[in-house]
Amino acid sequence: MPAAIRLMRETFEQIRSGAALNQPRRRLILPTGTVLHSMAGAWGKYLGTKVYATNPRHGAYFFFLLFDAETALPLAYMEANHLGQIRTGAASGYATSILAASDADSLAIIGTGFQARTQLAAIREVREVRDVRVWSRNEANRYSFAVETNTRAAATAEEAVRGASIVVTATWSKEPVLRSEWISPGTHINAIGSNQAQRRELPPELIARADLIACDSIEVAKIESGDLLLANVDWSDPRIVDLAQVESRPPGNPITIFKSNGLGVEDVAAAAYVYEKLA
């Protein structure tokens, strides 16, 4: 995870300078409910694409293709379930390192599924969180996650979120999983679960209250960020920025949001690191 967070920092620095490129996700949707997704990017000496298929009844299957940027030579074909899991956590870790208060020491996680563990691992790398509260709809999953990660299972989402200085939403929910009034001034939120236009985890009232909304990519957010699209945001609103352009936390006691949709260039950076370790 420390290496992954460093890679995400380097990736967003390269996006800022124009040295890294990202191509928004494309989706091919079948009547069976199966969807083929593809997302690509270029980073340093490499370019590549992640391709994955999902079906709500049968799961998701991720693969990554890595190429040499200068010669187009194919370098690696790898399974990418964990690759995507760790880079998603690391992106939140990088955003948290910039946007959360330096003394933030309490964390709420809504959702205890595939992505929650690396969210927790990444935030523990960048902040000394002493109180971690978790909640999900499935009580058994909630308590087993808490035991396995040395965290505390909350009885309700509100109990988990109120008073937390960092909040993570990592769910498949189509409707908001928390309420604006649960969020205190100074809180940082990583909203990572929704990357489809008709799904959201955050209520529009919270979007309206936020002092800064950093998207991993505004270009991508305009296509698939239900959290913002369903809140009918004005994309010219100066509060909405690309994470690559953010270098420090706003002054005062701001509410900040990192809206993570997931970028192909993040996968290129992670895959290149794995390739160089194994080559």
Q: Does domain 2-83+265-278 have CATH number 3.40.718.10?
A: no
Global pTM reads 0.96
Q: Strand, coil or helix: what is 148?
A: helix
Q: Which of 167, 166, 163, 139 is nearest to 153 (CA)?
A: 139
251, with CB counted inside 10 A (0-12, 13-18, 19+), is exposed
Q: Give backbone dihedrals phi and psi of 220, rounded to 5 degrees, phi first.
A: -70, -40
pLDDT digits (tens, 9 = 90+) for 178-212: 999 999 999 999 999 999 999 999 999 999 999 99
The DSSP symbol for 240 reads: E
Is residue 279 pLDDT above 90, yes or no? no
pLDDT digits (tens, 9 = 90+) for 227-241: 999 999 999 999 999
**How large is the C-alpha radius of gyration of the chain?**
18
Tell the residue number behind the tokens 């309700």, with chain if given. 156
Q: Which of 211, 226, 234, 231 is nearest to 261 (CA)?
A: 226
Domains in the chain: boundaries = 2-83+265-278, 88-263
Between strands 35-43 and 21-29, the pairing is: antiparallel
CATH class of 88-263: alpha beta
